[in-house]
Amino acid sequence: MKDISKVYKAGSNEFKALYDVNLTINKGEFVSIVGPSGAGKSTLMNIIGCLDKASSGQYMLDGIDTNCSDGKLAEIRNKKIGFIFQNYNLLPKLSILDNVQLPLIYQGINDKEAKQRSIERLQKIGLGNHIKHKPSELSGGQMQRVAIARALVTRPEMILADEPTGALDSKTGKEVLEILKQLNNEGNTIVLITHDRDIAAQAKRVITISDGTIASDEVKIDSDVAYTLSKS
Ligand SMILES: Nc1ncnc2c1ncn2[C@@H]1O[C@H](COP(=O)(O)OP(=O)(O)O)[C@@H](O)[C@H]1O
Ligand SMILES: [Mg+2]
């Protein structure tokens, strides 16, 4: 992102929610974006996730300029980004399997392959025995795991998680964070948005956003590496 700004307009009122944000996230990173309510997290996430466009500035995602038509932006979003939301956003009338398959069907992947890939993903995340269930028959933690399977099934360039533990008890929330860490260890790029400093601190890099600007950007040093550095 280069000089990304966002202005919301309502009639003659204008509100600037992001000021000249410059940000680079590399493949394979695990980044959290943290800040208080109203700081601009959702605004930034909507732009990162190709759900909304910046008012000015440039955002390149995997080499593609996102300043394009809405249709093209939707295509980029579907191909490149896996979303995980606080409230899971599962479709209640569909089975777990159909929920996970949906982004593949949107991509035009044939039913057989979509089904196979979705079952594999659900098995990997420990829900292989629940594929015919409806979301309402699962616990919150299980529903979030379905959402994670749905986010991963398209093999996206980036996982974008918006308060993924916000609706979960602390034990289940920790389990979901462990899954995200594991996915990052397997090479997935993860961007986690949260208002909670403790949750943000689980990421390898913590970006603090305040009043529409990046207030700090800290890369955490692995404790083993820190130890080695302190000895040398
Ligand atoms: N659609 C909108 N129209 C006008 N103002 C908005 C809109 N969306 C967000 N804002 C304002 O932009 C600021 C940042 O909002 P947001 O990105 O939702 O912050 P956060 O997610 O960190 O709570 C807030 O002051 C909010 O009121
Ligand atoms: Mg928000």
Distance (angstroms) between ligand 2 centre and the Cα of 223 equals 31
Summarize pLDDT for 163-221 with one digit per residue, the tens. 999 999 999 999 999 999 999 999 999 999 999 999 999 999 999 999 999 999 999 87
Selection from 28, 38, 1 nearest residue 158 by Cα: 28
Nearest CA to ligand 1 atom 27: 38
Distance in angstroms (rounded) separating the CA atoms of residues 117 and 112: 9
Whether the per-residue pLDDT at 232 is higher than 70: the answer is no
Beta-bridge partner residues of 58: 2
Distance (angstroms) between ligand 1 centre and the Cα of 44 equals 10
CATH of 2-231, one of 3.40.50.300, 3.90.1310.10, 2.130.10.10, 3.10.20.30: 3.40.50.300
| Residue whose CB lies within 8 A of the most ligand 1 atoms, among 8, 18, 53, for a mutation test | 8
Where do the domains of the chain lie?
Answer: 2-231
Q: Report yes or no: 207 and 217 within 8 Å, Cβ to Cβ.
A: yes
40 lines ligand 1 (CB under 6 A): yes
Distance (angstroms) between ligand 2 centre and the Cα of 46 equals 10
Output the CA torsion sign for 181, 166, 99, 126. positive
35 lines ligand 1 (CB under 6 A): yes
pLDDT band at 121 (very low <50, low <70, confident <90, very high): very high
Fill in the DSSP letter of residue 124.
Answer: H
Q: Return the pLDDT at 218.
A: 95
What average pLDDT does the chain have?
A: 94
Distance in angstroms (rounded) separating the CA atoms of residues 220 and 103: 34
Q: And the tokens for 132?
A: 């015919």
Whether the per-residue pLDDT at 230 is higher than 80: the answer is no
Q: Report yes or no: 190 and 180 within 8 Å, Cβ to Cβ.
A: yes
Summarize pLDDT for 102-120 with one digit per residue, the tens. 999 999 999 999 999 999 9
Nearest CA to ligand 1 atom 25: 38
17 lines ligand 1 (CB under 6 A): yes
Distance (angstroms) between ligand 1 centre and the Cα of 41 equals 8
Q: Return the pLDDT at 227.
A: 61
Fill in the DSSP letter of residue 221.
Answer: P
- Strand order of the sheet with strand 56-58? 13-21, 2-10, 56-58
Q: Report yes or no: 44 and 209 within 8 Å, Cβ to Cβ.
A: yes
